[in-house]
Amino acid sequence: MTGINDVILRLFETQKLRIATVYLKLLKRRKGVKERVETVRLFRYNPLVGTKLFLPQGWTKDKKRCEAAGIPDSEQKFQTKPELALKIIKQIIEAGAEFDFIGGDGLYGHNAELTRALDDLDRFYVLDVHKDETVFLSEPTFSIPERKGNKGRMPTNIQPNIQPIQLQNYIKTLTDKDFTTEKVRQTAKNWKVAKVHTVTVWQWDGKEEKARKRTLVITLSEKTKFSLSNANKEEYTNKEWAYFQCSRYWVERCFDDCKNELGMSDYQVTGWLAWQHHMALVLMASLYILNLKLEQQGQMPLLSVRDARLLVIAITFATKKEVDLCLEHIRIRHQKRQADIDRYYKKT
């Protein structure tokens, strides 16, 4: 696998719904594009492909409450959001879905159990981490230190021979020469530009006898972002590493579409099964809209989820004249959007 990837499996959780979710981002490039990156008129699809309901420990410890809500016995055990995300990933893999790499925010990047599991599954990931994450700048060795003095217990835990450094402290040691300026991807209003730094580091979870080799990705744009990956630094350019890291926007766009257009948060249920049914309907609606956008990509490349929803409603319930009027309104909006996009790029 080389170059910019086409399919991203992105981990995300929304606090309002208390679910760990996964979505896919599929990118279809136009033919004849000079650069191997997405263009302004890229066809972007962000279907929701899996959800899990997160139950706090206050619920899982209350068996009567769980039974009243119809929660199966197998689901009454407390599970963290990274554990739920890993279950979804395994289900997607077993279903035969193909994707190029896994992305996610700091909740997932900081979780050692999840990253080890992804290593075991041989899945390439680029996961965000927090600024207080610690790494080693060279590979450490581990041993049990000798006891100091004659008092106290004998040491039993292994310790590294060198000290790790927090990412927020590491970035202070860098200069402008350590970064490259990259045009990461095109947006509706010009290129997204970021300063990018990549370096090989080692990460230790405090338990294993050996630190794991990682690639640290730092980008400076609207904000400073840190990510760790299990791929080798030399496999990709700084531009590609920055592209992998900046996929968060699309999952937020996916949630906005699912909540505002497909009714993801518009439910009043008190039972486990009813919630599962509601999310299944949202997933099917997301897949249906995806297929519709794929079918119309030639004629309406800027078709949004809202456009598609209105079009489905018109085709299902309106007259042919009203459908034609809906299509005409969509075309007019798309022409204005494309003209606005072109205007921004002519300035540069």
Q: What is the pLDDT along the chain (348 residues), one digit of tens a residue?
A: 444 546 788 887 775 544 444 444 443 333 332 232 222 333 355 677 788 888 889 889 999 999 998 999 988 999 999 999 999 999 999 988 888 889 998 999 999 999 999 999 999 999 999 999 999 999 999 888 777 777 777 777 888 999 999 999 999 999 999 999 999 887 777 788 999 999 999 999 988 989 999 999 999 988 999 999 999 999 999 999 999 998 777 777 888 888 889 988 888 888 889 988 998 998 899 889 888 888 888 888 889 999 999 999 999 999 999 999 999 999 999 998 888 888 877 765
pLDDT value at residue 287 = 87
Amino acid identity, residue 23? Y
Phi, psi for 33 (deg, rounded to 5): -75, 135
Q: In the block, which residue shows the tokens 């990118």?
A: 27
Q: Which residues pair with 25 in a beta bridge?
A: 8
Among 216, 18, 12, CA closest to 106? 12
Across 35-161, the runs of DSSP E, i.e. the strands, are: 43-45, 48-53, 101-104, 125-129, 134-135, 142-143, 159-160
State whether the Cα torsion 92-285-243-42 is positive or negative.
positive
User: What residue ranges define each of the domains in the chain, with the CATH number in brackets?
Assistant: 7-138+166-293 (3.90.350)
The helix (run of H) or strand (run of E) holding residue 21 is strand 19-28
Per the confidence metrics, is the pTM higher than 0.75?
Answer: yes
Q: Residue ranges of the alpha helices (H) in 265-319?
A: 272-295, 305-317
Given this model, what pLDDT does residue 232 score? 96
pLDDT of residue 154: 76
Residue 186: predicted pLDDT: 79
> Are residues 18 and 4 in contact, defined by beta-carbon separation less than 8 angstroms?
no
